[in-house]
Amino acid sequence: MTMRRFERLGASTFQRRATILTLAAVAMLAALSVALLIPDRLRIDGYADPRSESAEIDATVLTEFEVGRTDIVALFTSASGSFYEETLQTRVALWQRLLSSRDDVVGCQSFASTGSPRFISSDGTRTFIVISLGGEAQDKLSTLPIIRQMLIAEVESAAGLQVSFSGITPLTNAAGGIVNRDLARAELIVVPITAVLLVLIYGSLVSAALPVVLGVLSILLSLAALKLLSLGFDLNNFAVNVITLLGLGLSIDYSLFILSRFREELSNGDVEAAVIRTVASTGKAVVFSGLTVAVSLLGLLVFERPMMDSIAIGGVVVVLVAVVLSVTILPAMLSILGRRVDRLRVRKLAASKVATTSGPWYWLARRVLAHPWPVAIVVSSGLVLLALPIMRFEGGLPDHRVLPANHSVRTASTILNDEFLPFQASPHQIIVAMPSALLTPQSLEVLEGLSKSIAQIDGISTVDGLFSFGDATAIERVLANIGDAPSARGTPKMGIQTVMASFVSGDQVRFVAYSDAEFNARRSTRQVDRLRTLALPDGWTLRVGGTAANLVDLKNVLWRRSPWMLLVVAVVMFIVLLLAFDSITLPIKAMLMNSMALTASFGAMVWVFQDGRFEEILGYESLGFSDATQPLLMFAIMFGLSMDYEVLILCRVKEEYDRSGNNTEAVARGLAATGRLITSAALILVVVMGAMATSEILFLKTLGFGMALAIVLDATIVRALLVPAIMGLMGRWNWYSPAWLRSMLGRVRVGGAR
């Protein structure tokens, strides 16, 4: 009889085991070479869509008006004296000239160049310089320490002065450093705990070592592949975090299932037969499981955001690598080890043969199947109650408060908001395009009216623009000031003409509107909506940028494209599960079960972190909002992982049903055969995900908590109670598929999977 595809793979793996392991060693050395030789080209930005209105305006402000964003804010404090004094003003002007002379600085603003009192604190003891940098985000990070050291050296030569730093680049640098440190600490927590759990699960050091080896190899090969991909694509460093997170978790999960099946098959025959049967059953299930995870991650590509694209690409890479290694490298290692896989025992080994008609999981399944309606109603109601807080979800973007309370960047940012005009670092940038590049009294009247309309919007505290200088009603004075204003790139902008030049460029005029609320507040985002609807004469256009506008554009695209992501994932997932189980009802049931567990965990995240509960216990400070992208990232990662377990359980249920034709008994036996192993795998994933909850950065803490909770809910309440209850109620409908569909698709049966 012709061997089936996965049986052939298992046979080939056994026969070529030495060659496969040699190639694996060569691949590992090549991956190390790639990691060492290819420079890191991963980006650190990626929230904004470069094609969005806000991103285009931010770019225009930099290129056309030579102002740029608040990349660095250098905050100066005087222990004695006021920055209104001429001596200190002269020092600030000198430092601004030094900064402006640098090629990597595209713009500087301070009291010395603008004369605006908003640059000096209410008591006069503090002032600041806004520094705009050229280049990409990575270039700005490289420039930051140079400017920091330069200003620190300058301040040290002046008695009684101190300097601290805020702004986008210091915040990014600080958050990135903490994230890297927290992830490194999480790995130090995860690896030993995982090793101990694996030893307890298998009772053998050899068996416990195999999943760890596979996880390390998966991460290494995936990171090398990511570096190669970064040569041709703009990828974000979030992809590295996803690879590290999923690489270890999935590799250990898949190794657990394959090792368990191999040990069971080994008790029934020789090593070669055990390898072939393991790959043909559990190996095939692992492939389908990996496809479900990859499909879920690919849904992020719908949003066309660099960060989400990078997470999708990094996740798919590590999933595919983990799957390939699990059905090739791991069986090759098992082929060589054979019965020695249980060597170096530290305790008495559990029986290799799994009892499917006895034990606590079989007993629980039979109890649930005896009372499916009450169980389904009670469990579903509980999950719905947990999910209700998601109705209060408020999406935002990270700000300085994600840093620890005592961090210098957060302290400087707080001072800027408390002692100066609040929220200066995140103003609304407004660009008005006129029908011609000529400023006339008539066009100035329109612009003056627009300036007044902007100032009248609820919550706008200050408006900077052409009419911020001199008598705003004297249009002739504005014309005189702006008439011969020079371009000042590469030199400090001194004098009213050059200052006003930062508000006019060709046929475009710029206004800067300051809100009395932080950019994440609804008050600020409503201001963006109001600004974008201001009336102008025919031929005039108005566009809005700034951080609040970035958030508005992000939320709009998430709202518009989320249904498409869900649709794409659902359709492709349905096809994959249809091929796996030859049923049109099981895929729908599986996706509904996963969605219930995920929405319950989303609701719990909002209830805890957004609403500010258990702050002292969990060590965080609630911001009153959640990261806008967090639900989608959790969905992409956890929906696939949850479906991963669903596939592996249903595979065994399907095997039992094909054998007996009894739905109730098949469900009970399938749960009994997989319950212990699924629980063990889930426990390890909870450790991996939960370690992130120790982070000092709220985004990682929330994500780790949410994913760990989702796994706990999925592996306990959903898998142990809701799934058998629903499958018991559905009866033979679990396996329904029209004859024409079976004929069209053929039977691609996964077989037993443990």
| pLDDT above 80: residue 305 | no
Q: What is the CATH number of the domain that holds 333?
A: 1.20.1640.10
Q: Looking at residue 743, what is its pLDDT?
A: 67
Q: How far apart are the first and last CA of the chain?
A: 25
Residue 588 shares a structural domain with residue 662: yes
Question: What is the spatial distance between Cα 329 and Cα 253, in angstroms, rounded to a whole number?
Answer: 15
Contact 201, 680 (CB under 8 A): yes
Question: What is the spatial distance between Cα 660 and Cα 647, in angstroms, rounded to a whole number?
Answer: 20
Q: What is the CATH number of the domain that holds 157?
A: 3.30.70.100
Q: Looking at residue 470, what is its pLDDT?
A: 53
- Range in 39-43, 245-249, 423-427 the model is least confident about: 39-43
Residue 208 shares a structural domain with residue 343: yes
Q: Looking at residue 494, what is its pLDDT?
A: 44
Residue 333 shares a structural domain with residue 402: no
| pLDDT above 70: residue 484 | no
Contact 44, 238 (CB under 8 A): no
DSSP 361-397: HHHHHHHHHHSHHHHHHHHHHHHHHHHGGGGG--EE-
Pairing mode, strands 541-545 and 428-433:
antiparallel
Residue 3 CA to its chain's centroid (Å):
43
Q: Looking at residue 8, what is its pLDDT?
A: 86
Q: Looking at residue 748, what is its pLDDT?
A: 46
Residue 125 shares a structural domain with residue 259: no
* Residue 432 located in a structural domain: yes
| pLDDT above 80: residue 742 | no
Contact 621, 405 (CB under 8 A): yes
Residue 233 shares a structural domain with residue 272: yes
| pLDDT above 50: residue 2 | no
* Residue 390 located in a structural domain: yes
- Range in 82-91, 155-164, 475-484, 598-607 the model is least confident about: 475-484
Contact 584, 736 (CB under 8 A): yes
Residue-wise pLDDT tens digits, 661-720 = 888 888 888 888 888 888 888 888 888 888 888 888 888 889 889 989 988 888 888 888
Work out the number of other CB atoms within 10 angstroms of the CB of residue 519: 25
Residue 221 shares a structural domain with residue 246: yes
Q: pLDDT: is 533 or 115 the higher one?
A: 533
For 591, residues 6+ apart whose C-beta sits below 8 A from its C-beta are 570, 573, 574, 643
Question: What is the spatial distance between Cα 481 and Cα 472, in angstroms, rounded to a whole number?
Answer: 12
Residue 434 shares a structural domain with residue 302: no
Last residue of a domain, one of 353, 368, 390: 353
* Residue 420 located in a structural domain: no
Q: Looking at residue 659, what is its pLDDT?
A: 81
What is the rounded average pLDDT for all residues in the chain?
84
Q: Looking at residue 485, what is its pLDDT?
A: 45
Q: Which stretch, 78-87, 99-108, 385-394, has highest mean pLDDT? A: 385-394
pLDDT more than 90, % of the chain: 24
Say whether 69 sits in a helix, a strand or coil: coil
For 731, residues 6+ apart whose C-beta sits below 8 A from its C-beta are 663
Q: How confident is the model at residue 325 (pLDDT cuts 50, 70, 90)?
A: very high
Q: Looking at residue 118, what is its pLDDT?
A: 85
Closest by Cα among 40, 56, 36 to 235: 40
Q: Looking at residue 301, what is its pLDDT?
A: 86
- Range in 448-452, 626-630, 656-660, 746-750 the model is least confident about: 746-750
Q: How confident is the model at residue 429 (pLDDT cuts 50, 70, 90)?
A: very high
Last residue of a domain, one of 329, 353, 377: 353
Q: Looking at residue 3, what is its pLDDT?
A: 45
Mean pLDDT, residues 99-128:
87
Residue 734 shares a structural domain with residue 602: yes
Say whether 293 sits in a helix, a strand or coil: helix
- For residue 76, the enclosing domain spans 71-166
Taking each helix axis as running N to C, give the angle between helix 698-713 and helix 585-605, from 0 to 180 degrees, rounded to the nearest 10.
140
| pLDDT above 90: residue 357 | no
* Residue 59 located in a structural domain: no
Mean pLDDT, residues 24-43:
78
Contact 515, 529 (CB under 8 A): no
| pLDDT above 90: residue 332 | yes
Q: Looking at residue 745, what is its pLDDT?
A: 59
Residue 614 shares a structural domain with residue 592: yes
Contact 74, 574 (CB under 8 A): no
Q: Apex CA 681: angle with CA 675 and CA 686, to 5°? A: 120
Residue 623 shares a structural domain with residue 716: yes
Mean pLDDT, residues 538-545:
93
Contact 265, 273 (CB under 8 A): yes
Output phi, psi for 423, to 5 deg: 60, 35
Q: Looking at residue 607, what is its pLDDT?
A: 94
Residue 286 shares a structural domain with residue 381: no
Q: How confident is the model at residue 349 (pLDDT cuts 50, 70, 90)?
A: low
Q: How confident is the model at residue 31 (pLDDT cuts 50, 70, 90)?
A: confident
Q: 72 - beta bridge partners?
A: 131
pTM of the model: 0.82
* Residue 419 located in a structural domain: no
Pairing mode, strands 626-627 and 395-396:
parallel
Closest by Cα among 473, 555, 465, 470 to 511: 465
Residue-wise pLDDT tens digits, 176-226 = 888 888 878 887 888 888 888 888 887 788 888 888 889 889 988 988 888
Question: What is the spatial distance between Cα 412 and Cα 251, in angstroms, rounded to a whole number?
Answer: 43
Q: Looking at residue 76, what is its pLDDT?
A: 94
Last residue of a domain, one of 545, 579, 605: 545
Return the C-alpha torsion angle 595, 598, 599, 602, nearest 10.
-160
Q: Looking at residue 60, what is its pLDDT?
A: 87
Dihedral sign (CA 415, 419, 423, 426): negative
| pLDDT above 60: residue 482 | no
Residue type, 175: A
Closest by Cα among 74, 83, 137, 80 to 112: 83
Residue-wise pLDDT tens digits, 41-99 = 666 666 667 778 988 998 888 788 877 678 899 999 998 888 888 888 888 899 999 99
Structural domain total, the chain: 4
Say whether 746 sits in a helix, a strand or coil: coil
* Residue 371 located in a structural domain: yes
Q: What is the CATH number of the domain that holds 474?
A: 3.30.70
Residue 296 shares a structural domain with residue 251: yes
Question: What is the spatial distance between Cα 295 and Cα 629, in angstroms, rounded to a whole number?
Answer: 18
Question: What is the spatial distance between Cα 531 and Cα 228, in angstroms, rounded to a whole number?
Answer: 44
Q: To which residue do tokens 């049109």 refer?
A: 584
Question: What is the spatial distance between Cα 313 and Cα 297, in angstroms, rounded to a whole number?
Answer: 8
* Residue 497 located in a structural domain: yes
| pLDDT above 90: residue 139 | no
Q: Looking at residue 751, what is its pLDDT?
A: 42
Question: What is the spatial distance between Cα 604 and Cα 624, in angstroms, rounded to a whole number?
Answer: 14
Q: How confident is the model at residue 610 (pLDDT cuts 50, 70, 90)?
A: very high
Encode 60-94: b = buried (16+ Cβ within 10 Å), e = exposed: bbbeebbbbbbbbbbbbbbeeebbeeeebbebbbe
Mean pLDDT, residues 26-34:
87
* Residue 128 located in a structural domain: yes
